[in-house]
A and B are shown apart, each in its own frame.
Chain A
Amino acid sequence: MRRRWLAAFLLLGVAFAQAQVTTPAIPPDAREAKQPGAWEKIAIPPLHPFHPQQPKRIELSNGLVILLQEDHELPFINGFIEMRGGSQSEPAERAGLVDLYAQTWRTSGTAGHSGDALDDLLEAKAAKVETSGDDDSTAVSWSCLKKDEDQVFAIAVDLLLHPAFDEQKLALAKQQEMAGIVRRNDDAGGIAAREAAKLVYGAHSPYVRQPEIATTMAVTLADLTAWHTRTVVPNNIIIGVEGDFDAAAMEKTLRGTFEKLPRGPAWKSPQVPVPGPKPGVYLVKKADVNQSNVWIVGVGTERRNPDYYALSVMNEIFSGGFGSRLFQDVRTRLGLAYSVYGVYGASYDHPGMFYTVAATKSASTEEAAREMLKEIGDLRTQPFADDELKTAKDQLLNSFIFRYDTREKVLNEAAALEFYHYPPDFLEKYREGVERVTVADLERVAHRYIDPAKLAVLVVGNDTQFGRPLSLLGLGQEQVLDVTIPIPPQMREELGGAQE
């Protein structure tokens, strides 16, 4: 009944609206005529006041840090327990260890419940407990309806404190990992991203090295257990919880669970020099494509760099959106690529990568690479205009709210700053820093950080279809990179002739 009444109301609403639609702000006939800048007359009222809620930070006596973010909109609770240390710290001859650890940890389960049993139990509640790992961290995370929190949280803690790494599940994880390895040359974009990173950081750098079949096969259950023991120490852990809970009660639970854990050695991330690429042109030959992935790469920076703000603005002008120099030129003006992008990369604790990327038809490979190099060179030679600076700042500052428009984002940002030992007001400082950037700053950082003589060009493509030879780029003869996947002889037959 209620709904029918509502429907009738809506019909009335339409009729009423009809009577009102007599004077559109921009009458249709006015729009027929040229009306430059009519959109500029639209008032932009002040933004509604907004004070993003910061998570409550608790540091336990053993060094474990907890961040609690209440959010009562929906009856869910999501949390993570994150440990410092990831694949950057695995031994080179065991590359892939952290991937295997992250998979096997959850699928094996705990001393009391097998991973399969946990799957049944959790999925029946539409809940998740997962483990993950990346280059510098591992984590247990959970997500559930509020009513299931006690049970699901207990499973997450059980997994953290009483994992039961299982031989069968390690074998399954190895199979998954190896499938990824033998398939990695099927995707041209993937080859390019991987080889580009190797050019910048060095093929054996812990920041970029790849698992191989041999290093994957070498990992044992004992390696997983040892990794776990080494990383799961409270002064190495950050816990974040977001959702429909009472912070005081949650704090009590977490203290009760984690306060008793003994401290361990502080985690040390590898500090490895970044050599940067050896300048030149590099080619990976791929016969089954008609489009080249072109990457131009160099070394980026760290976010701690005081020039990070000016570099961010420069980056926005160079490649920040549809209006950026790179997009305007390579895509809009020349139609050379659908996918074109670039970043002057800034990582938290080591130099990021500076890369400019386009995917263009084989025949225009050299043309696209030349154009991209020109755009990079122009950063030093084409003066930055006042309106370029204004537009870039507008883009960064007006969209800034999307860095913290949900409580989950605020929590994640706080956790990242905590993880990398950055000051908690880093985001606010960033905004102020961007506001202060001047054209002179842009000129200064472009000259200081952009050095075309320190860049490498990488092409993954079908060289039988290239138009002009890559040597015309003036960076010497291209060097062909061999991306053949090393397959141990004893596996070759089993893999059914898998090759590059």
Chain B
Amino acid sequence: MKLPAAAKSLSLLCLLCVLSLACAPAQDLAAFEKRVTVRTLPNGLTLILCHRPEAPVFSYFTIVDAGDANDPGGESGLAHMFEHLAFKGTKDIGTKDYEAEKAALAKVEDAWAAYDAELRRYAGQSSASIPPADAQKLAALKAQFDAADKAANQYVIPNEFTEIAEANGATGLNAETSLDATQYFWSMPENRLELWAYLESDRIANPVPRQFYRERDVVEEERRMRVDSDPVGRLVEQFLATAYVEHPYRRPGVGWESEVTQLSATEAEAFHRKYYVPANITIAVVGDVDAATAMPMLERYFGAIPAGPKPEPMASVEPPQVAEKQVILHEAAQPLYLEGYHRPDYRDPDDAVYDAIQDIFSNGRTSRLYRSLVRDQRIAVEAEGFSGFPGDKYPGLFAFFAVPAPGHTAAEMGAAIHKEIDKLKTADVSDAELEMFRTRARADVLRSLGDNQGLAQELAIYQLRYGDWRELFKQLDRIDAVTKADIRRVANKTFVETNRTWAAVETQTAPGPAAKGAGQ
């Protein structure tokens, strides 16, 4: 039995964990404001508390303003790898003897460095091209590494960090890494607030890269699951690698296989030092928490995290696209279609215009793409356009995703989507469409206020991005200001052929080639 009518949707957005900046309207900012307290601590960390005493529980959301777009060159997947590490414990959680473990971990790093140095000499070469003497040497170095790993592992109390949280009622404990950011969250009974503050501040300040290489195996399995063994994953990886030439949005967040498999704990620690500084972190707590008593306690824990310089902004800017690009994957799977156009980042004055275009193209059964491709032409079973893919902190794409109906092709999807785009460029949207966009945006913001975890996420993200959580409400002014002329102007500027990349899965009737990255 399932009670609420939930829309079933093969959502690309969900698959990729893209931050959902649901458009928000303000119902009563003045009333809401009284429940919110913000502090920026002397070390630069920002805390937001929102009092919502509906039940004796709270949810938190920590956002670190660094994601896989910040991975150093050759180390793709590092931000995500660090996210996994953040559950491995600290100097006093997860260890039987930290001092001894620390020494053992240093030996693991030395052993890995020695093995890795040798491995890299043969990167990209077949094992047949490795001279027998070197192969022996590699095997010996690998054995030394395994021994060091085993020695360090004897000090580990595995998963103690998460076990403490779960034994204390943590629910929905998880984390996500996108190309833009890394975020951690769970919910707990309110009487565990101080315990949570201890755990969260400790893992930000004192993470220990224990069991790093075992966890890297886990992350490689995550890559096989999300990318290698999934047609949508394979399509997206090729699509982004084609749409971008310079900017790190071209990367798979989970990392390229050859790079993920050679990440080291030393690299993860360097990433932590640079990006997990308090000035780069915003934390929101929503629930049965009273700011007057909770804030001083939280300030003690989070204020103790050593300060560090805020990381410098990224210099890479994707150069203007000069020609249409395409990728076709011939697969055993059924056809899929994805196309995208470069757009500016979320700070752009036209950001809300893109939101309007997304809403008009994609939101529900009144949307243009549903009505045209799914309902009337019956060539697709799903069609949507969405803004800010694979992220929007840097200039992302306005993308379109369509799932052809049985017997229809990816090429038909492109043609039908282009017709809809042309309509948007040449004729004004209707008053009703624009009004619907505004009304739904307003209602979405209002609905988001009724859920601790969702609200914590929104407050943290808006505070981080705009320096003021009130933008959650104030964005409605920008939404209301969008005009028909804006939509035509932005559509004409964005949706041009030379700014387009498309990728398709086309069904190959003969058995397809085996997936790459076969385990050995």
Contact = CB atoms under 8 A, between A and B. Distances in A.
B55 interface: yes
A465 B225 contact: no
Interface in B471-520: 507, 509, 511-512, 514-520
Contacts of A116: 365, 375
B55 A240 contact: no
Given A123-B436, A290-B229, A405 B55 contact: yes
Contacts of A306: none
B92 A36 contact: yes
Contacts of A49: 56
Interface string B208-220: 0001001111111
A145 B25 CA distance: 14
B167 A23 contact: no
B3 A240 contact: yes
Given A32-B91, A328-B158, A47 B56 contact: yes
Given A74-B450, A240-B3, A322-B159, A20 B218 contact: no
Contacts of A39: 92-93, 164, 195, 198-199, 202
A13 to B, nearest CB: 6
B409 A496 contact: yes
Given A136-B1, A139-B3, A498-B507, A395 B167 contact: yes
Given A31-B206, A39-B164, A80 B42 contact: no
A364 interface: yes
B128 to A, nearest CB: 19
Q: Mostly helix, strand, loop or mixed at chain A's interface? A: mixed
B364 A119 contact: yes
B162 A124 contact: no
Given A17-B41, A186-B231, A399-B171, A145 B443 contact: yes
Contact of A76 (B2, B33, B447): B447
**Counting chain A CB atoms within 10 Å of each CB, which of B57, B219, B222, B407 scores highest?**
B407
Interface stretch (B301-309, B385-393, B417-425): B301-309
Interface string A22-52: 0111111001101111110011111111101
A54 interface: no
B442 to A, nearest CB: 7
Given A31-B202, A179-B405, A48 B228 contact: no
Contact of B3 (A80, A126, A145): A80
A223 B49 CA distance: 54
Nearest to A337: B221
Contacts of B220: 361
Contacts of B374: 172
Given A76-B447, A78-B4, A172-B375, A497 B509 contact: yes
B202 A362 contact: no
A31 B89 CA distance: 13
A22 to B, nearest CB: 9
**Counting chain A CB atoms within 10 Å of each CB, which of B3, B220, B512 scores highest?**
B3
**Counting chain A CB atoms within 10 Å of each CB, which of B92, B440, B514, B520 scores highest?**
B92
B288 to A, nearest CB: 6
Contacts of B39: 10, 13-14, 17
16 contacts: A35-B91, A38-B198, A39-B199, A76-B446, A116-B375, A183-B334, A240-B3, A288-B331, A288-B514, A289-B229, A321-B166, A333-B158, A338-B222, A361-B224, A394-B167, A462-B514
Given A78-B4, A335-B216, A391-B167, 9 more contacts: A36-B95, A48-B56, A123-B363, A124-B439, A126-B444, A131-B5, A322-B173, A334-B214, A462-B518
Interface of A: 3, 6, 10, 13-14, 17-18, 20-21, 23-28, 31-32, 34-39, 42-50, 52, 73-76, 78, 80, 82, 107, 115-116, 119-120, 123-126, 128, 130-132, 134, 136-137, 139-141, 143, 145, 172, 175-176, 178-180, 182-183, 186-189, 240, 287-291, 320-323, 327-328, 331-339, 348, 359-364, 391, 394-395, 398-402, 404-407, 412, 415-416, 419-420, 462, 464-465, 467, 494-499
